[in-house]
A and B are shown apart, each in its own frame.
Chain A
Amino acid sequence: MAETTEPLLSITGLRSAYGPIEVLHGIDLTVREGEIVSLVGANGAGKTTLMRCISGVQPIKAGAIRLAGEDIARRPDHARASLGIAHSPEGRQIFGDLSVSENLALGGYHRRDALGPDMEEVYRLFPILRDKSALPAGGLSGGQQQMLAIGRAIMGRPRLLLLDEPSMGLAPVLVDQVFAVVKSLRDRGVTLLMVEQNAYAALSIADRGYVMEQGEITLSGLASELIADPRIREAYLGA
């Protein structure tokens, strides 16, 4: 198969469990180069678990995860960053006792080139982080920590950026700012897979979407079709 038609991320038959309890029952999902794909669904549907499987911090029981054709399912978690996957996790998971600038620099831990220009870019996207750059990250407000988690993921200069609930805990004006950043990242060639509670906002900037329920993909399609789908409107868009 030619390089250009190979999807950037291709997941087939993915199963994962916490102890004896299986939470992902065979997920199939693809993300093509340059796309924004949104994953929507209720709490406990397995969206976060799926994201963690992709970045490697959650073990999988079966299935394949291919990045540009290469099966990475057996690669250890710390090897995935240098393969081009960055993950802004649910709950932010910042380094609370390290400074804001140290947090950002750690986002580029696997890189051997100079981090300065990208750090400058993150400060341009989120100017508040520049003002707080020397302060411990644990002292930031929830919204600022969310920006830091996204900024840290950007610092990895990923091919595939996983964003888990990027708008969680943000004031509405900041939600708009974060979604504007997401769109600008795509314009710069980053491919995005995004989990969102805010299904309408997530689908309105996405190219395609997947709906997850109880560990399975129940619906997928173009984002514009999903927004118009009466089942989605009723279940997730409150219409």
Chain B
Amino acid sequence: MSELLQFLISGITVGAIYAAIALGFTLIYNASGVVNFAQGEFVVIGGMTAAALIGAGVPVWIAAPLAVIAGMLVGVLLYRLAIRPAGQAPLVSLIIITIGASIFLRGAMQAVFDKQIHRYDGFSGDAPLRVGGATILPQSLWIIGGSVAVFAFLAWFLNRTRAGRGIRATASNRMAAALVGINTGRAMNLSFALSAAIGALAGVLATPVTFTSYDVGVLMALKGFSATMLGGVGSPLGALAGGLLIGLIEALTAGYISSDYKDASAFIVILLVLFLRPQGLFGARIMERV
């Protein structure tokens, strides 16, 4: 029993990280229809920047926000320098641009930081807390809390704020959005900035548990993208649920079968869901009559 509890705790912790990454995907997708494959790189930028600052003696409560801001700035640059100049290029071209950006950012991080694996101490120490026969790291609570906070923020932002409604309208029909007075360029810019900030925040929170290095972004993006697909592209609730589900499947497979199969089991579940319910668990079935 305590064994199961332990697996669940680690599954939720990892799942919360995937969920935060998936929420970043969701935001950019909601604004532009683009799947941003550089999303994993923002996780690494957050983790590596925080590690470098903390290593240089900066206190964590200053380093963490700075790392998130660094990620946000790179996100704005990605939009301004790579996405916006492509103009009205087809979506597939834009998605390929994000893959190129991901490769570029990985190389840049090797140069700016290094190839070592980094971590820093958990925000509230590394002494595990006892929970009914299992243990949980205080940092896990930071990760779970952070993901839930990001989810709540996004759900509120996209549905209840003017800027958020502008982002959704821009994604739905850019010309119509311009006609009703939405500055679509600003909506795109904002969504890239926020999405990158969310990715960097995930990296800052996760690094004490998962460690980071310049090249972990690929796997992070893959898992986050899977979570997005599983939950339903475009739905913040789907991103949260998809992330947690993938984390739990991985942890239970690793615990009860073998950690060799943990990635496979997650992908098998995703395939099954996509066969039976292609719009994902929480995605709306979109109809368009012509």
Contacts and interface: CB of A to CB of B under 8 A. Distances in A.
B179 A96 contact: no
Contact of A98 (B169, B175, B183, B289): B169
Q: Kindly state the interface size class of chain A when it binds its partner.
A: 35 or more
B251 interface: no
Interface residues of B, number: 24
A71 interface: no
A80 B173 CA distance: 17
Interface in A94-128: 94-98, 102, 105-110
A150 to B, nearest CB: 13
B287 A139 contact: yes
B181 A109 contact: yes
Contact of B179 (A87, A102, A142, A145): A87
A95 B181 CA distance: 14
B233 to A, nearest CB: 11
Contacts of B168: 95, 98
A136 B181 contact: no
Contacts of B169: 95, 98, 106, 109
Nearest to B30: A97
A57 B172 CA distance: 16
A153 to B, nearest CB: 8
Contacts, number: 84
B162 interface: yes
Interface in A117-174: 136, 138-142, 145, 152, 156
A79 B184 CA distance: 11
A109 B180 contact: yes
A151 B196 CA distance: 37
Given A139-B287, A145-B289, A95 B172 contact: yes
Given A82-B181, A109-B182, A139-B289, A95 B176 contact: yes
Contacts of A102: 165
A106 B165 CA distance: 8
Contacts of B62: none
B180 A57 contact: no
Contacts of B234: 97
15 contacts: A57-B175, A57-B178, A77-B179, A78-B183, A87-B179, A93-B176, A94-B176, A95-B177, A96-B172, A96-B287, A96-B288, A106-B177, A107-B180, A110-B180, A156-B181
The 4 A-B residue pairs with the shortest CB-CB distance, nearest first, are A81-B181, A110-B181, A95-B172, A77-B178
